[in-house]
Amino acid sequence: MKKIFVTGGAGYIGSHVVRDLGKKGYDVLIYDNLSTGHEWAVLSGRLVKGDLADKSFLDEVIKDFKPDAVMHFAALIQVEESVREPLKYFRNNTANAMNLLEVMLENRIKNFIFSSTAAVYGIPDKLPVNEDVPMNPTNPYGESKAMVEQMLSDLSNASDFNYIALRYFNVAGADSQGRIGQAYKESTHLITRALKTAKGELPKLLIFGADYMTSDGTCIRDYIHVDDLSVAHILTLDYLSDNGKSRVFNCGYGHGYSVREVVQAAKKVTGIDFRTEETGRRDGDSPALLADSSRLKAELNWKPKHDDLGYIIKTAWEWEKKLDTILNKCTGDK
């Protein structure tokens, strides 16, 4: 496999994978509507500005490029927003994925790598959770992704189409050289918000719920560095090239941190004692999510290198400190 079509490759996770695909010598075409992604985040390959809702343009681009595989990152990702505006998520995440799959089938492209999420599990009975636990999402974001996984499974059963669904746990951190990182206008993610509070951009960090049945009452998540996640994507290409069959893999480290522990770690890395305030639970949140990633390690030989909350926060902090300059420069360029 040489030619990879990457939707959402100008976004946070996609841009890290594009960087690594470039390093490995793949021929990469990025298809992104730039709604949350940025042109400067594309460190290799060629960017085409396009929307997945525009099926005829998508078909044109795919026909012309003739990819061997498609990596699909483009999606909306905010749990809270999905609870308020569910149809936006089914349109963007589910219907657009269906457009892409139809175009792929019409063009006989049979390899697909899908950005799925731990949110498909909902509130699992046992932790860490493995891939055999049935999907049971508790919010429209998780549902919109679980529906795509269902389509993929049915499609794969019905034909010689192969897919890999990577269920991401809590992705954080940034490129070690500080070239790319999270750059959403309004991030809802804990680590980013904590750092924006440390920077003075937010007055205080709200802690959503301190009455969960967890060690300190706050939610526990499995934070994974974006570079380790990116490597998992590259490994899926080797796997599919070796005639590997459709598979679902969790991507996480298997242990987690509470919101309070993340806050402590962020204060330590930044050296800033920023303000926090406990408030009510956020709709759709699961008390704890931890990945059993033994399948990814055993079958794809995944060897994570950055299982260290301090390193994750440090790379995110280095990035966060220069983000305003990058964003202002880009606005100025226009």
Binding residues for ligand UDP, rule: CB under 6 A, are 79, 170, 188-190, 193, 205-208, 219, 221, 259, 282, 285
Residue 160 phi, psi (nearest 5): -95, 20
Shortest spacing between CB 322 and ligand UDP, in angstroms: 21
| Distance in angstroms (rounded) separating the CA atoms of residues 78 and 82 | 6
For residues 190 and 258, the answer to whether their CB atoms sit within 8 Å is no
- Backbone φ, ψ for residue 287 (5° rounding): -60, -40
Q: Measured from the CB atom, is 80 or 308 closer to ligand UDP? A: 80
Closest separation in Å from C-beta 23 to ligand UDP: 28
E strand map for 64-150: 69-72, 111-117
Q: Which residue is nearest to ligand UDP (CB)?
A: 219
Ramachandran area for residue 315 (φ above 0: left; ψ -120 to 50: alpha; else beta): alpha
Instruction: State the Cα–Cα distance between residues 37 and 28, nearest whole angstrom.
Output: 16
Which residue lies nearer to ligand UDP by CB, 111 or 270? 270
Given the residues 26, 31, 121, 141, select the one marked as catalytic.
141
Burial track 107-145 (b if 16+ CB lie within 10 A, e otherwise) = eebbbbbbbbbbbbbbebeebbbebeeebebbbbbbbbb
Q: Measured from the CB atom, is 101 or 225 closer to ligand UDP?
A: 225
What are the Cα distances from residue 179, in Å, to 15, 175, 318, 319, 323? Answer: 10, 6, 10, 8, 10
Q: Report in angstroms how near the CB of residue 258 gets to ligand UDP at its nearest.
A: 9
Looking at beta carbons only, is 16 or 193 nearer to ligand UDP? 193
In whole angstroms, how close is the CB of 201 to ligand UDP at the nearest point? 12
Residue found under tokens 């007055």: 203
Q: Is 12 a catalytic residue?
A: no
As measured in angstroms, the least distance from the Cβ of 206 to ligand UDP is 5
Torsion angle of C-alpha atoms 7, 12, 16, 19, degrees rounded to 10 = 60
Nearer to ligand UDP, 45 or 252 (CB): 252
For residue 196, give the amino acid letter: K
Q: Where in the sequence numbering do the catalytic residues fall?
A: 141
